[in-house]
C-alpha cells in the first residue's frame, strides 16, 4: 500500500483558523471535504520549507511557522497518510484558491461544523478541546 508523508498548516489569524475545501477528486472519501492546507514533502526538504512552499503554491500566502502541533497517521482505503501539522500565522485574510474550491475562516468553536477529511479530524478535535 502506498504511504504518503505530508505537512498541514493550521493557519491562525487572530482567533480564527483557515479551513479550505478540496475539489472533486477520484477519492470519494476526500472529495469536497475540508482540510488544513498543505502537501507532500519533497526529497531533501524540511517540514518548515515544505509547508511554506505548499501554502504559497496553493494559496499564494506567506506564513510563519510557529510550532509543531500534532502528527496524524491515518489509513485511507487506497493509501496510508502520515501528516505533520503546524500552528502558523499569516498577515493576509484572502487566500487565492489555486487548488481548492472554497475557504472559510472560523473560530475554534465553529470548526466541528464542517465536513472534514478523516485525517484532519484529530487535528480539528485537538484544537477545539
Q: Which residues constitute the domain of residue 69?
A: 2-128
Per-residue pLDDT of the chain (129 residues; tens, 9 = 90+): 899 999 999 999 999 999 999 999 988 889 999 999 999 999 999 999 999 999 999 999 999 999 999 999 999 999 999 999 999 999 888 999 999 999 999 999 999 999 999 999 999 999 999
Model-level pTM greater than 0.75?
Answer: yes
Overall number of domains in the chain: 1
Q: What is the pLDDT of residue 85?
A: 98
CATH number for position 39? 3.90.79.10
Q: How open is the CA angle 23-31-56, to the nearest 5 degrees? A: 45
Q: What is the pLDDT of residue 106?
A: 98
3-state secondary structure of 98: coil
- Distance from C-alpha of 63 to C-alpha of 92, rounded to nearest angstrom: 9
Q: What is the pLDDT of residue 1?
A: 83
Helices and strands per DSSP (H, E), number in the chain: 2, 7
Amino acid at each position: 500500500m502506498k504511504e504518503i508523508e505530508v505537512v498541514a498548516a493550521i493557519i491562525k489569524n487572530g482567533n480564527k483558523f483557515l479551513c479550505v475545501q478540496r475539489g472533486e477528486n477520484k477519492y470519494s472519501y476526500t472529495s469536497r471535504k475540508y482540510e488544513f492546507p498543505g502537501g507532500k514533502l519533497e526529497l531533501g526538504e524540511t517540514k518548515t520549507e515544505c509547508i511554506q512552499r505548499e501554502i504559497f503554491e496553493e494559496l499564494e500566502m506567506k506564513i510563519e511557522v510557529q510550532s509543531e502541533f500534532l502528527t496524524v497517521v491515518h489509513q485511507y482505503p487506497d493509501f496510508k497518510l502520515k501528516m505533520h501539522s503546524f500552528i502558523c500565522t499569516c498577515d493576509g485574510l484572502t487566500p487565492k484558491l489555486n487548488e481548492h474550491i472554497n475557504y472559510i475562516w472560523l473560530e475554534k468553536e465553529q470548526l466541528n461544523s464542517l465536513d472534514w477529511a478523516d485525517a484532519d479530524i484529530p487535528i480539528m478535535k485537538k484544537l477545539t478541546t
